[in-house]
Amino acid sequence: MTTQPSYADALGVVGLVSSGLASGLTLAYPLLVNRHFQWKQGAHIQPASDAANLSLAQRLTLWNHSYDVGHWCPLFAFGAALGLTGSCLASSGDWSDWNKRLLVAASVTHVSIAPFTVLVIAPVNDRLMALRKLANAGKTDLVSEDEADSLMARWGSLHNVRVVLSLAGFVTAAAVAVTYPN
């Protein structure tokens, strides 16, 4: 006998897809984008060439563009949390069910990215934005390249915490989906 999908199933699918999108988007930055603004590119080609390097203003502007695109991450993370939690609430059974507990854990993991960003990463973001404005205004004497490089490296490390949290939420939700009884 075939059972019809329930609201809990539909919400679980929405949560899992949103979780995957949040994870993929956060993971794309260290793999695809960070290397372009975080390091001088001329040192990574053979023979090494300073002419291949982006200027500091260009690297800060590239960081700012990726920062702007990153505003989609919380949307997917909160969508994942709502879908996964909604799936738990709409499904039958009690809270002693480990699948429900794991889905709530995945939801909390996704939501935890927001306070981490506001409390820990926002000061780095604010300083990088201020440096970008100064560099693009031609006030390069007020911009320390060492400070900018240090902040971009710090931002990359802090962003990796978000990557780990997002992937942990996705893997947890996917594990529940794979082991979900038919």
Count H helices and E strands in the chain, helices first: 8, 0
> Span 122-150, mean pLDDT?
91
Any domain includes 150: yes
Q: Half-sphere exposure of residue 127, counting CA atoms within 13 Å on the CB side?
A: 15
Instruction: Give the percent of the chain with pLDDT over 90.
Output: 45
Which tens digit of pLDDT belongs to each residue from 97-116?
Answer: 888 899 999 999 999 999 99
Any domain includes 1: no
Any domain includes 46: yes
The whole domain housing 79 covers 7-179
Residue 143: band (very low, low, confident or very high) from pLDDT cuts 50, 70, 90:
confident
Any domain includes 2: no
Number of domains in the chain: 1
Task: Determine the pLDDT at residue 84.
Answer: 93
Any domain includes 93: yes
Which tens digit of pLDDT belongs to each residue from 10-64?
Answer: 898 999 999 999 999 898 877 776 665 555 655 555 555 555 577 888 888 888 8
Q: Enter the DSSP assignment of 32.
A: I
Average pLDDT along the chain = 84
Whether residue 1 has pLDDT greater than 50 = no
CB atoms within 10 A of CB 5: 9
Task: Determine the pLDDT at residue 154.
Answer: 93
Encoding tokens for residue 2?
């075939």
